[in-house]
Structure 1
Amino acid sequence: CPFAAHIRKVNPRSDVDDPALGSMIRAGIPYGPEVSDGEKASNSSSTEASLERGLAFVSYQSHINKGFAFVQHTWANDPNFFNGFPNGISTGLDPIIGVRIGTDKFNITGTDPSDPSKPLTIIQNFVVSRGGEYFF
């Protein structure tokens, strides 16, 4: 699995000293209409403003500061996590949920096994947060 991959950044298992750190149960719950035949044919989503479609993310953990908040802030948003990357190369932000300030375009590395330093440019956000709540 590439070092910059979402699953490796948010669930690093043996790449960290304490694998229990960041432990949480997580699920994505889709809502809204299925992708239409027209969207499939055009290979793009509808731009209709009234269309409400997305994925509600839910996670359960015993300690919020060692679960979701920790994973988002310390792993997904840290371009230098994971520390074991060869030659000090930065993996970049998490390509799926990393929060970018000021621009949507950014580079990640570690996706090409023959050249770990080769950048891959991500040109748009995959996830747009519409809000969030903590429930206890």
Structure 2
Amino acid sequence: MKKVNLVFGTVYGGAQFVAETLQQALTNSGREVNLFQPDQLGGFIPPEDELLLIICSTTGQGDIPDDIQPWFYEMQSKAPYLPELKFGLIGLGDSSYETFCGAGEQFLALFEELGAKRLGDFLKIDAGETMEPEVEALAWLPSWNELIDKELAA
């Protein structure tokens, strides 16, 4: 069973809470999970034989939160080609802004540029529609788990 590395970027703590909630749910489903705090990401290159789940809120005009920006730029400038890496992506934002989930879109573009393959849909959680983003993330998780199991069986 592949380990899941959870990475989050947050402004007010919402993405962190979603990450912690998913960490617990993945652990309960029997998966090995490593939750990285943003200050632990310096030098971290996601192993290609493990899975990556990125949970990121959007700030300002579609910007990446300050806490995860250094890792984003490090990956952008120093990361190797990662064609075997599979990743999932959850974005938190507000659809009343043109840059809805813009930080997540930037992560998607970066990891696709690095050759990684997205596993499942990019879940975009709208703060204008839900006050509990972790509930939507938990509803999305079973389909992502199913895709992981299909990947492992292939």
Bin for the TM-score computed over the shorter chain: under 0.3
TM-score by length of 1: 0.27
Name whichever structure is richer in strand by fraction. Answer: 2
TM-score by length of 2: 0.25
Q: Which structure has the greater CA radius of gyration?
A: 1
